[in-house]
Amino acid sequence: MSDTQSENQSQSSSETLNFQTEAKQLLQLMIHSLYSNREIFLRELISNASDAIDKLRFRAIEDASLLGDDADFRIDITFDKDAGTLTIADNGIGMTRDEVIAHLGTIAKSGTAEFLANLTGDQQSDSQLIGQFGVGFYSAFMVAKEVEVLTQSAAGGDGVRWRSSGEDAYSLDVATDLPRGTQVILHLQEDATEYAEDARLRHIVTRYSDHIGVPVRVFSTPGYGASEDEEFVPELEAVNSAQALWTRSRSEVGDEEYKEFYKHVSNDFEDPLNWSHNRVEGKFEYTSLLYLPKRAPFDLYNRELPKGLKLYVQRVFIMDDADQFLPLYLRFVKGVIDSNDLPLNVSREILQQDERVTSIRNAVTKRVLSMLEDMAKKDPEQYQAFWKEFGEVIKEGAGEDFANRQAIMKLLRFASTHGGNSDKTASLADYLERKKEDQESIYYICAETYETASRSPHLEIFKDKGVEVLLMFDRIDEWLMSSLSEFEGVPFVDVMRGDVTLPGESKPEEDNEDSDAEEHPLTERIQAVIGEKVEGVRPSKRLTDSPACLVLSDYGVGIQMRKILEASGQSMPETKPFFEFNAEHPLLHRLDTEQDEDRFAELVELLFDQASLAEGGTLQDPATYVSRMNRLLMDLLPANEA
Ligand code: ADP
Ligand code: MG
């Protein structure tokens, strides 16, 4: 994607390439918005070095020759105070020229352009957004005026020298005699020389990178790798504990360490919300360390979102984003699985069918669900924060995961008429606890927004009688409710549908359902006007204040679902609603006495359109509605004197 500036394509001479537009934008933002916490650049570079070592270790399983005579993996951080340079060197997999261009010159992550479009220019909120995007390699430019990368791929070929001052372009040269792996050399900015100091570096490494599974060593030396002074023997002591964090026992690992490790595996900038670390022994042995993020990624609904856990087999890194260990609806969970039983050469294809994987996945799913249930019990506030971010995805689970449906239903939260605002949510258990003694249903309503739901005329009688109704307004709710029938034996009832039965009333019998409808004189007159548009007309039991409302049949597609399906280009079979009128309403009393049939028809049409508007529907013919409304207004207003 980068365009070549230099005409000279010769491999041996220098070439200047432009950063991909997105990369350039992100780089600029990074430098300017994350400035307040710039020491994290070191964490990012160490994290990359550790990933590079993991990758080589994995490749060497099949081809040990890749290791050559250097199998002692390590990350060395050296500095030269006088020169103002800091070097992070690894003996990992390295990069070829093409890889350097692809990884350091572009951002491959899907959705980057949309992401950038979401930035506001406000530093604080932007820095949070960038944080969830993952800061990565470019964070080096927060402290460096120039970054140099020397890298030699383990696969052989020429070494590469990449250089940039973080503006529009970078240069590439061939570099020879490099040791295997990558050296990132930072030419520190004048105000960042503190990062060329032993104590400061050790402190940062201990703080952010203690969990890294290979030794991270800090020492002062001129010219690592290309050292002319062969005699120079620095003090080679690892600063970190160099033991993969998840292999340690829970009691040994501090919260801060867990949090830093999370940032390493997730690329998240913020602390996790919660985590669960478990060693499982039995039929299959594995360790899982699962994290819940604080915030949903901006691309949670992107199908190509990389998801899943980091997979290790007997401590050896195998792959990122192993999505076979989690159901789709838990795609936001981050962490590590380390299995003792899977073969080292396991592939994604094998993972897909392996019974060990299925068994781990089932266990991990239960683990996450019980972690959530625990959180909901012990820390409702934290759970509420979680729910706000991920509730919609958990709802997918309630619809899809039959085996765990009962557990997932306990996790669901809904706004309700009891709460008074959209943030006050209730669990289904809360609802059952509050329900009336003679109440045999869990009542709910689906609409497009909280406001539409909470003010719907369909709720009037429920409010009147103090019966709680769950208010649903997430896009997914109607789909969800179409797959749930009951909770703890109590059926769900959509108050917008069918002939609702209120607590204490007996269910109307099938065959006399329409009996009282036929008794009302207005039924037939109204039917004559809007009969084409509706399934039927009947007096309502739902309404106390509004004159009329529309009611779906038990199986008709609701408005929310209809809008979603229509937006996705599907044609919908027309399902007609019932028109219910409030026979006690003064407007209907007047209507009853209206002798002029034309005027009667006009008023009924208006009531019909209003009922449709009140439930968030769209009018088929808004222009006619407006002109009818205006005629009515003209009748009401006194004529001008002149
Ligand atoms: P991320 O680590 O999330 O992929 P980064 O911006 O940190 O994003 O790094 C971009 C890519 O550059 C990495 O995915 C990797 O392919 C490559 N890379 C960075 N540092 C190294 C390194 N030390 N050795 C090999 N490859 C590296
Ligand atoms: Mg990285």
Summarised one tens digit per residue, pLDDT across range 615-642 is 877 788 899 999 999 988 888 888 776 5
Looking at 24-33, 58-67, 74-83, 344-353, which range is the least confident one?
24-33
pLDDT on residue 9: 45
pLDDT on residue 554: 75
The string of DSSP codes covering 405-439 is: HHHHHHH--EEETTTSSTT-EE-HHHHHHHS-TT-
Ligand 1 mean position to 334 CA, how many Å? 19
Ligand 1 atom nearest residue 92's Cα: 24
Of 90, 94, 85, nearest to 74 by C-alpha is: 90
Tokens 């856990």, located at residue: 309
pLDDT at 336 over 60: yes
How far is Cα 373 from Cα 347, in angstroms, rounded to an integer?
33
Strongest mean pLDDT among 111-120, 128-137, 183-192, 210-219: 183-192
How far is Cα 299 from Cα 293, in angstroms, rounded to an integer?
14
Ligand 1 mean position to 135 CA, how many Å? 11
Q: Which ligand has the nearest atom to the CA of 152?
A: 1
Instruction: Give 78: exposed, middle or buried? Use CB within 10 Å, 0-12, 13-18, 19+.
Output: buried
Ligand 1 atom nearest residue 90's Cα: 23
pLDDT on residue 465: 92
User: Residues near 254 by Cβ (< 8 Å), separated by ≥ 6?
Assistant: none
pLDDT on residue 641: 63
- Segment 591-603 shows an average pLDDT of 91
pLDDT on residue 389: 95
Looking at 336-340, 366-370, 489-493, 551-555, which range is the least confident one?
551-555
Q: Which ligand has the nearest atom to the CA of 104?
A: 1
Ligand 1 atom nearest residue 55's Cα: 25
Mean pLDDT score across all residues of the chain: 87
pLDDT on residue 128: 67
Please list all protein residues whose beta carbon sits less than 5 angstroms from ligand 2, which is an ion: 47-48, 136
Domains and CATH numbers, the chain: 3-241 (3.30.565.10), 247-395 (3.30.230.80), 413-498 (3.40.50.11260), 516-637 (1.20.120.790)
CA 253 to each of CA 185, 211, 277, 317, 488: distance values in angstroms, whole numbers, following the listed order: 32, 9, 10, 21, 40
How far is Cα 245 from Cα 335, in angstroms, rounded to an integer?
11
Ligand 1 atom nearest residue 49's Cα: 23
| CA end-to-end span of the chain | 72
Query: What's the pTM?
Result: 0.79
Residue nearest to atom 23 of ligand 1 (CA): 49
Residue 116 in contact with residue 33, Cβ under 8 Å? no
pLDDT on residue 4: 43
Residue 52 in contact with residue 93, Cβ under 8 Å? yes
pLDDT on residue 511: 45
- Segment 52-57 shows an average pLDDT of 95
Q: Pocket of ligand 1, candidates 100, 112, 137: which has the most ligand atoms within 8 Å of its Cβ, to mutate? A: 137
pLDDT on residue 223: 47
pLDDT on residue 305: 78
Q: What distance lies between CA 301 and its chain's CA centroid? A: 7
DSSP 497: B
How far is Cα 605 from Cα 627, in angstroms, rounded to an integer?
12
Residue nearest to atom 21 of ligand 1 (CA): 48
Phi, psi dihedral angles at 72 (to 5 degrees): -90, 95
The residues lining ligand 1, judged by C-beta closer than 6 Å to any ligand atom, are 44, 48-49, 52, 90, 92-95, 103-104, 134, 136-137, 182, 267
pLDDT on residue 132: 65
pLDDT on residue 298: 79
User: Residues near 20 by Cβ (< 8 Å), separated by ≥ 6?
Assistant: 1, 2, 105, 106, 107
In the three-class reduction of DSSP (H, G, I as helix; E, B as strand; rest coil), residue 336 is classed as: strand
**Tokens for 502?**
């209120």
pLDDT at 346 over 90: no
Ligand 1 atom nearest residue 47's Cα: 2
Summarised one tens digit per residue, pLDDT across range 243-298 is 899 999 999 999 999 999 999 899 888 899 999 999 999 888 999 999 999 999 87
- Segment 570-599 shows an average pLDDT of 88
Q: Pocket of ligand 1, candidates 47, 77, 88, 103: which has the most ligand atoms within 8 Å of its Cβ, to mutate? A: 103
Residue nearest to atom 15 of ligand 1 (CA): 103
Residue nearest to atom 14 of ligand 1 (CA): 103
- Laid out side by side, the sheet with 15-18 consists of 15-18, 169-175, 159-164, 144-152, 181-188, 85-90, 75-80, 216-220
pLDDT on residue 3: 44
Residue 159 in contact with residue 71, Cβ under 8 Å? no
Q: Pocket of ligand 1, candidates 48, 107, 268: which has the most ligand atoms within 8 Å of its Cβ, to mutate? A: 48
How far is Cα 431 from Cα 119, in angstroms, rounded to an integer?
40
Ligand 2 mean position to 70 CA, how many Å? 24
pLDDT at 303 over 90: no
Q: Which ligand has the nearest atom to the CA of 30?
A: 1
Give 32's pLDDT tier (boundaries 50, 70, 90): confident
pLDDT on residue 566: 76
pLDDT on residue 556: 73
In the three-class reduction of DSSP (H, G, I as helix; E, B as strand; rest coil), residue 140 is classed as: helix
pLDDT at 573 over 80: no
Residue nearest to atom 16 of ligand 1 (CA): 103
